[in-house]
């Protein structure tokens, strides 16, 4: 078999440099290491790609229900009552309030909106539905004061975003005015499409995806855990979805966007042609990532009413 098929790679120099820099902190076989080691590597990786905080932005940490850590971001200029609720990625295994702090700060500042991020429980110490329940509890907390919410998340956070938005619809909750799914894992079948074509993609492989699913132990076919399993997507809020071409999760984003559109949902879909999984971190060193992040921030701004 052609090596290019075995190991598909983008050609943009910035994203290739980003990938090389990532592997210096988080090796390609990281999932073979202990959970503790994976988290140490991931924390070091996140620190490597930290960025200066926007001028005038304030942060405040707190707890929801006396148990679930959250971080509130208030930019220097707030132009909407709508809040962004951000759920971080990390395969349900790694990640924290700090891992996506700079991303959250920049999104809040660009959209001129308050943002709240969540530090949900991680697997394998807490298998499904712990993370889902934590994220859903914070969503209900935010909706309780009557202010509109846009829910956003990347990778595993994109899965949790789609899941709790489906749960809110099932519960008859109002107030969610948008969702943004960033290279989300939505429960694709692992044996077709991009899961085969991009099985050995840089940054995330299909084997990695299978590993994270096994660690999480989510029930197969449950739409809150695998949103692509939902029979009906009608009535969901306006949605922005961004995927990466060189990513086994690519077709999850494509399929969900197509199904949302077919169900009458207002959906904007963008696929980054030279990007790999986790490209948000490359936004300050890759032209493609910089443009993708700008488009994402603009999409979220539209959802919150400032774009």
154 strand-pairing partners? 182
User: For position 2, what pLDDT does the model report?
Assistant: 45
- In the set 119, 154, 208, 247, the catalytic residue is 247
Residue from 19, 154, 277, 286 carrying the catalytic annotation? 277
Within the chain, which residues score under 50 in pLDDT?
1-4
The total of other beta-carbon atoms located within 10 Å of residue 237's CB is: 19
What pLDDT is attached to residue 239? 98
pLDDT tens-digit profile of 130-159? 999 999 999 999 999 999 999 999 999 999
Range 166-171, long-range pairs (CB < 8 A, 24+ positions): 166/223, 166/224, 166/227, 166/230, 166/236, 167/132, 167/136, 167/224, 168/136, 168/139, 168/143, 169/235, 169/236
Is-catalytic flag, 247?
A: yes
pLDDT of residue 1: 42
d(CA 153, CA 239): 12
Q: What three-state secondary structure class fits 159?
A: helix
pTM (two decimals): 0.97
pLDDT of res. 260: 98
Which residue among the candidates 96, 99, 117, 155 is catalytic per the annotation? Answer: 155
In this predicted structure, what is the pLDDT of residue 28? 87
What pLDDT, on a 0 to 100 scale, did the predictor assign at position 7?
Answer: 87
Whole-angstrom distance, CA of residue 101 vs CA of residue 59: 10
Q: Is 43 a catalytic residue?
A: no
Residues 247 and 183: beta-carbon distance below 8 Å: yes
């Amino acid at each position: 078999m052609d090596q290019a098929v075995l190991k598909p790679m983008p050609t943009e120099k910035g994203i290739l440099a980003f990938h090389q820099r990532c592997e210096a902190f988080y090796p390609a076989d990281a999932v073979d290491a202990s959970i503790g080691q994976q988290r140490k590597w991931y924390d070091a990786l996140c620190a490597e790609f930290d960025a200066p905080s926007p001028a005038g932005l304030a942060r405040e940490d707190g707890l929801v229900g006396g148990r679930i850590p959250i971080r509130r971001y208030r930019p220097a200029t707030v132009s909407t009552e709508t809040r962004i609720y951000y759920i971080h990625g990390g395969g349900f295994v790694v990640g924290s309030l700090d891992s996506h702090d700079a991303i959250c700060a920049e999104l809040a500042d660009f959209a001129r909106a308050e943002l709240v991020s969540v530090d949900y429980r991680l697997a394998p110490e807490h298998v499904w539905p712990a993370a889902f329940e934590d994220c859903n509890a914070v969503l209900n907390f935010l909706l309780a004061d009557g202010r509109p919410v846009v829910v956003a998340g990347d990778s595993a956070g994109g899965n949790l975003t789609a899941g709790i938005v489906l749960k809110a619809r099932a519960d008859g909750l109002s107030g969610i005015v948008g969702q943004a799914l960033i290279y989300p894992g939505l429960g694709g079948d692992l044996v077709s499409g991009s899961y085969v074509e991009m099985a050995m993609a840089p940054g995330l492989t299909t084997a990695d995806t299978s590993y994270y699913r096994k660690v999480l132990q989510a029930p197969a076919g449950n739409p809150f855990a695998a949103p692509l399993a939902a029979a009906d997507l009608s009535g969901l809020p306006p949605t922005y979805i961004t995927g990466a071409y060189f990513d086994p999760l690519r077709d999850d984003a494509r399929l969900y966007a197509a199904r949302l559109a077919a169900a009458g949902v207002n959906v904007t879909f963008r696929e980054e042609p030279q990007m790999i999984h986790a490209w948000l971190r490359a936004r300050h060193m890759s032209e493609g990532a910089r443009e993708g992040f700008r488009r994402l921030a603009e999409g979220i701004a539209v959802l919150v009413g400032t774009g």
